[in-house]
């Protein structure tokens, strides 16, 4: 029985099949634009755990830009899992996140500044390009 289980889950762990495909391969894939719209709408709701939504948004990178205000607010919540995933997602969104994150660097809260810096680190050199708020660090 253990061998059968390993054979069943191995394709998921090796990245051959996404977990959603492994659960129901007959289910048609949702259009990415519709998925993004649904995630953004669900993020704006004040109910439930937002972490799975934020994790899913990270996969959209710069296309998840409309989520930036909510993600910035998430860095101010006293929930480390929420903050961590919001920072990662802001980092994956990229350049559009730089200005709002730079504003958080003036926060008196050490944790907020930490996650803002961490998100900027995810963005990498793009955070320093141009004449943006972080150009003074070049």
Task: Please give the Cα distance from 65 to 89 (Å, whole number).
Answer: 10
Q: Looking at per-residue confidence, does 56 or 129 come out higher?
A: 56
Split into its structural domains, the chain has a count of 2
Q: What is the pLDDT of residues 54-95, one digit of tens each?
A: 999 999 999 999 999 999 999 999 999 999 999 999 999 999
Structure tokens at 63: 């296309």
Domain that holds residue 105: 31-137
62 and 129 in a single domain? The answer is yes
Q: Looking at per-residue confidence, does 92 or 28 come out higher?
A: 92
Asked if the model's pLDDT at residue 19 lies above 60, the reply is no
Asked if the model's pLDDT at residue 103 lies above 60, the reply is yes
This prediction has a pTM of 0.74
43 and 89 in a single domain? The answer is yes
Q: Residue 6 has what pLDDT? A: 46
20 and 76 in a single domain? The answer is no
């Amino acid at each position: 029985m253990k061998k059968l289980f390993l054979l069943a889950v191995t394709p998921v762990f090796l990245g051959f099949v996404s977990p959603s495909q492994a659960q129901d391969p007959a289910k048609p894939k949702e259009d990415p634009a519709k998925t993004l719209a649904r995630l953004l709408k669900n993020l704006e709701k004040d109910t439930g755990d937002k972490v799975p939504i934020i994790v899913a948004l990270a996969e959209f990178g710069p296309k998840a830009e409309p989520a930036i205000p909510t993600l910035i607010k998430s860095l101010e919540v006293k929930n480390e899992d929420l903050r961590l995933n919001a920072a990662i997602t802001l980092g994956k969104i990229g350049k559009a996140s730089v200005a709002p994150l730079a504003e958080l660097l003036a926060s008196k809260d050490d944790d907020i500044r930490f996650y803002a810096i961490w998100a900027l680190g995810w963005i990498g050199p793009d955070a320093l390009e141009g004449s943006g708020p972080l150009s003074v660090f070049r």
